[in-house]
Structure 1
Amino acid sequence: MNTQATQDQTGRTPAAAAEPAPAGAAGGHGYSKQKEQHLKRLRRIEGQIRGLQRMVDDDVYCIDILTQVSAGTKALQAFALSLLEEHLKHCVAAAVEQGGPEADAKVAEATAAIKRMLGT
């Protein structure tokens, strides 16, 4: 039997992904203040993806679908960059202010996220 915990797409175990914000990260996550705006943006992106499904179902011309795929991809990338910026300003900055190994870990975590976003 494999005793190693499975990891989700973030590379964290499900329990680690659900952990509360560390001490010193007052107010929760960096995106908390913009949560409603983020949810609105994600619902808009979800609508774009559902539109893609309808386009395929309606046998729309390939290039038109690809154009919409590109728009959806760019929307997700813009959302990711916004979230990353908030993470750097809130979580990483707080860890750096506190110093110690937590700061290095947060910088490494952000670097890994950037690498995933770049596909490297």
Structure 2
Amino acid sequence: MRIDKYLWCVRYFKTRNKATEACKKGHVKINEQQVKPSREVFPTDKIELRKNQINYQIEVLDIPKNRVGAKIVDLYRKDTTPQEAFEHTGLLKYSKDYYRKKGSGRPTKKDRRDIDDYLEDGEG
């Protein structure tokens, strides 16, 4: 099975086209080598995939015939991604707060709703 189809079948990408684009951009490696979307996948292959700033590490256990349900995905792949990769995304959320401090600039939609709710409560 092709690598782009495999990644779509085991639900790492929502569409096969997105899986193909990731392969073309070099975000997918099989056994430490960058691959084209047409590269065949076999059991025991080790896939490294970069998606949403996380480096996933997957081991192929079996090849599905079609796209599989989320509950049975673990029959076809073993996710060996270290926990530190997921913790890194939590730190990225904190760094984004640094760029726009609360109270600076225009209020957000949520801020405006909170202000409106406060003003309505004060009148009645």
TM-score by length of 1: 0.27
Question: Higher relative contact order at CA 8 Å, sep ≥6: structure 1 or structure 2?
Answer: 1
Larger Rg: 2
Higher helix share: 1
TM-score by length of 2: 0.26
